[in-house]
Structure 1
Amino acid sequence: MTEPTSNAAGGIQYVPYNRLCLSSLNVRKKAPTGIEALAETIGEKGLMQNLVVHEMKGRAKLPKLGVCAGQRRLAALDLLVEQGRITKDYEVPVLIVSQGEAVAASLIENREREAMHLADECVAFRLLTEEGKSVAHIAALFAVPDIAVRRALKIANLAPSLLDLLRDDRLDYDQAKVLALSDDHATQERVWGDAINKWQRRPAELRAALTHAEVNASENALARFVGLDAYETAGGRVRRDLFSDDANAGYLEDAELLHRLATQRLIELSQAVGNEGWGWIETRTRYEATEILRLGRIGSNTRKPTKAEEAELATLNATRDAAQAELDAYYDEDCEPDEERGERLEAAATAATISVDQYAERFETYDPEDMKQAGAYVYLDDEGRVCIERGLVRRETASTTQAGAAHTCSANATRVPKERPLHSEKLCKRLTAHRTAAVQIELVQQPTVALAVLMQRMIPVVFAEVYGRSNIDSAVKIDVHTTRDALVSNADDMAGSVAWLALEGEREKWSRMLPRRVADLLPWLLEQGEDVLSNLFAFCVAATVDGISSADRPHAVNEISNTLAVDLSRYWKPTRSGYFEHVAKDLIAAVVGESVSPQAASEVRGMKKDAAAEAAELRMTDSGWLPEVLRNREVPERVTYGYHEDDEGGDDENGDAAAEADQVSEAQASPGEEEVEPY
């Protein structure tokens, strides 16, 4: 098959208008525009540019000539004939080409004239491939990169109904690119048809619908760690994304295989770490900040680096400082943000910091005996890089070592650290103050529950002969004191709390209704109806609830909270001042990674602490996320002392109760045990 030439089949010829018809090989399918203006020009000046035609198959002795290039000019001639301005024997200049050359001629002609619609151009590329033209040949013919041709062929593979929508501009290019990720027309049409609302037709939402069970290779840490080649070698399938410039762009269909490959490789890498002499090694496919931060650490020594190592470390430090300075300068610029540049600078700063940290690890040494009681975590960060945390001590190991230290006076006993809590005492009090306010305002609206809560506190005291000496672990203080001042003193952001504002509104309402003198209070109460008394009673009980705690542990206020089904996310939001500036940056990144995305966590990890806290607030204020302290809904175990009579009394039972009381007394006298508050 020959390529079209400037003089195919003998050059320009003149044929009568009535021999012309529109060819099915004309790649322009969208109706042409501006025909009236073009007809006026032809009517006044004549047809100055030829049409490109090919012979149509038929039984006529003089075959029709199909116009494969020049659809707008043919439409203008049709209009002139209808208007009677030219006759059907009007001589039209044409270039006759073979049928095999028609598609290429039409495509070349249309690209050089009025811009073709994207859908028509893509379909034309597909027609050329169906005629046997290679991607490279088409790319060379139209002076475009191979990837542009491949992308056009992807668009051309859309279902015909979707191509029609694209031609009519009811489906835009970005949406088409996403739908083209699937080669199945039924799937394409289903995803588009299911997207009823406008927001569901955003490219990101369409992509999620198509790839909901697949792994985004360009963003997933495991995919970066394993590599697409290793994944495909193991039999995994990849849905390639031709419209991304990322070399790893695509979607992995077998998440289980990917996780298995990553775990196997991590285990292999961890063996070398285990040979260092650690008591245990754990591998994780992601950074578990809450898990690692709870562990203790053994002490270490730092050896002095050699001169060569000092010089190399100085170079790495200089590179890190320069990268961070460039990133800080970018943040300080007062101009339109350049997202691509920002991501590049953040990645460079993070990589430089990691390089310094990894190089510095070679100078850290541990006592061999301590190493036997400690271990290391081998995990992947958000970029798929292998990281190692050494010198970690588990809770049970620390407890065992501490117990042994009570009987020995070895110097090593001081090396075992106390388990570090995830949140400080001050932050726990801040968070639980908000929890208390939330429970109070919910209790205000439930007088019956408020009555039950108070009675639960009073009855064991009044009926001591029934309940014995019980430790009354209650959130309500029977000596009647409010927790209003405690809420404000422990949480300086309480004034903006939804629960606090509602509570203060209730307080102001009742303050206006109550008599000014205490002597008038009882007569006033006796005059009130049942509704007023029950609602006032509920507010007063709620005001005595005390759920503030200095640690994340089971609390009696949770029993009330669970009864009321309090949704704490309605009353507390993760803000910079209320949470993020009070925790470590690693924990901020872990929280963002859990609630937003690994990519967002990676961005936060590359920022300074203040910027990271601010960024986390922007991403998470309305996420509904709660810290562990507020997610903890456990209730303390009830402890009972002395005699407790069940359905039937007896001497044996009294004896058992007395023995139990003695055991408890001994437990209270034992050193190191937590004291139990008397009621």
Structure 2
Amino acid sequence: MVSARGQRREAALDLLFGQKHITADYPVPVRIVSEGEALAISLIENSEREGLDPFDVLRSYRMLAEEGRSADYIAALFSAAPVTVKRRLKLAGVSPKLLALLREDAITLDQLAALALADDHETQEHIWFDANQWQRQPNYLRQAITRTEIDASRSRLVRFVGLDAYETAGGYVRRDLFSDDDNAGYIADAELLQRLAAQKLDAAAEAIRLEGWGWTETRIERDVLELNRYGRLQPVERALTEDDQREMDALTARQDELTEKFDALPEDDENAYEEAERLENLITEVNAAILAIESRALTWDAPQMAEAGAFVIVSQQGELVIERGLVRRENSAALDAAGATVTGTPDAEHISATNPEHTPKEKPVHSAKLCQRLTAHRTAAVHAELIAQPSVALAAILQRLVPLAFPERYGHGFDAQCVELNGTSNHDRLLGAADDLAASTAWGVIEAQRQQWTDTLPARRADLLPWLLAQDPGTTLLDLLAFCTGTLLDGIAGEEKPHPINAISNALQLDMTRYWTPTRASYFDHVSKARIAEVVTAALSPKVAADLGKMKKGDAAAAAELRLAKSAWLPEILTDREVPVARSYGVADDPDDDPDGEESDARDAPQEDGDANRDGHHDGRINGTELPEGVGSESTVDDPTAAPQATARDSNGALPVWPFPTAAGAATAMSEGAGRDATQDAA
């Protein structure tokens, strides 16, 4: 029998019996409950006097679940929210060996939550017990489990396709119950995600083509440089219908009302944050509705539409964006003859590049100081990502060392590099270029890592080499190399032009929206009022930006910060990923070069659409656009409908080593990368 509660009452009865106030057959009411309920009742009663032991709470939840109690029953018993019950049941399902550590305070609930992402106890134990002490932070544990999967909360394709559609198609999602993000989880079947995105884009493109456009193409991201190669057929703006005008008036009044309420909120009142977020969401919805009405007022001439086309694009926010009225160079003459209004010059970028003397000199959008400020943030973001992806850091440092070791193969380069080998840390230079960098997300990651390494490394320089030799080269040394490589990054630039650091940014699939947001202090105070209006117009709509020109510069900057709060807009200097052409001298001739140039000529010949993939090879692109964020055939699994299996064993039945990037894995990745580079060079 288990006594759940009432020990004091039992003692009182014993006292009464000893004093002969009651007899041995005195009836005492007793309620029979299960062992799980007994533990729960005891915990709830004791919680009035002392805090609950997390281990006992999880054990109680597990016992109740094993007895067949529903989540709603457990929630009612503990007066807990249903999501709390689901999370605690997930924690209770972690390996018993790890739960035992919780009772000893040798593991935290956050660490257990990270390990709960693994679906089997063996993998959970393997990851925990094989890790070094400093690798047991929740973010490292989570990375070890999901290293080959796509983070759904960060992927624009996941937002575009939707997790429900992905799961309906048979895809498996490793859910993260401990995140408040609706898209929290990890996707293993990148090929399925890509296929669903392509199908959704193609369906949207077909609907746009039926409007009467001569052609449509799909893109998974908006490439400003590509769009600038097209002219723009201008629509005619008709007057709004009476219904549209009434709706527009109501929306404009609502917009003014919400903005006034938002501006009236006290800036230093923490209790106002929730209300501010609610108002921001409402303002965003109103702005979208205004933009939709404005779009309905645009009309196009049908014969002119047949000479132009449209791009169907996935935006940074994972939303569908349509760029209508694009004019190719071969169609511009026909439109001119028809009297159409076409702005911009098709292939204007190409003309400027080949005829630089025809390019008028203009004042740059961003000053040298602002460029340095923004690129300091970019450099810090790359450093933060290198910490999370140490194998890329290894490749980056070797990319600098290999040409120095093999000058007979690579010659002597004289271009700027993004990784400097002079041993000077970029710490002070970055802080000097951007006075707001110290408060940024990237800098927080960097400084946290710096402190951890400071606490881990030996105090004396003489002890450093012996300590390094004693470490695991595939984990500790690789992660230390990643941090040190980040301190050698030289990514600060005083002008907008291709930069070598973009090569590393591309390898990391860097998403700057995670590390930088447009605010008054970070951007709008440093540009002209005309630029502020231009940014808001491009990011939202001309209607939203209409009143900025009437404001004072400071008020316009503050208003722009508010209106772009949810936009994930980035200035061009942070979105441009172009890498400068590498130049070198003294390079040995390639013995495989074709002596007569025929093969080269054949390679340089233009291909028809689709030629690149006629052999059935999948290159991870949709309609010629490269997929971001790890989406591609290399991340696929054999069975998209099945949950990921336990960690595979080798031929001897042993589990593999700690699943962070290892020296061997990095070497394999580098050799594969070298093979790809050789293929690209040959092409």
Length-normalised TM-score, structure 1: 0.49
Greater radius of gyration (CA): 1
- Structure with higher RCO (Cα < 8 A, 6+ apart): 2
TM-score (norm 2): 0.48
